[in-house]
């Protein structure tokens, strides 16, 4: 079993829809939870960052962490075609030297 599990999709939604992306994990030592966005033929870039449990909101994006369930989510409101990309969750432990463990990514397509 992988430490981080993520449904690869693809996920196709109409413009304006609310998108929910999720990851589960098995290592209870993870304390840092990130979402990266990767456009086609580009490197991943950090989208959202959360430490420990709770919610974080940034514009149309909301990240949620439920450590009791070992489950994290990314919500995208009012989705736009420009949101079409692969979204990767990533996790790290405290004192891990910036070593991140990534999910395999969920491919999202927002259609006009």
DSSP 48-111: EEEESSEEEEETTEEEEEETTTTEEEEEESS--GGG-EEEEEEEEETTSTT--EE---EEEEEE
Residue of 23, 37, 44, 76 interacting with another protein (CB under 8 A)? 44
Residues between 82 and 101 that touch another protein (CB under 8 A)? 88, 90, 92, 97-101
Please report whether residue 61 would count as binding another protein according to CB under 8 A. Answer: no
Residues between 6 and 25 that touch another protein (CB under 8 A)? 6
Looking at residue 52, the DSSP 8-state letter turns out to be S
Q: Total number of residues binding another protein (CB under 8 A)?
A: 23
Please report whether residue 1 would count as binding another protein according to CB under 8 A. Answer: no
């Amino acid at each position: 079993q992988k430490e981080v599990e993520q449904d690869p999709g693809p996920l196709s939604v109409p413009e304006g829809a609310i998108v929910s992306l999720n990851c589960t994990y098995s290592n209870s030592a993870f304390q840092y939870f990130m979402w990266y966005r990767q456009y086609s033929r580009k490197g991943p870039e950090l989208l959202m960052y959360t430490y420990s449990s709770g919610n974080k909101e940034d514009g149309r994006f909301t990240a949620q962490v439920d450590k009791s369930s070992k489950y994290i989510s990314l919500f995208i409101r009012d989705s736009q075609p420009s949101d079409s990309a692969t979204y990767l969750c990533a996790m790290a432990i405290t004192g891990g030297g910036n070593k991140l463990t990534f999910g395999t990514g969920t491919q999202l397509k927002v259609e006009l």
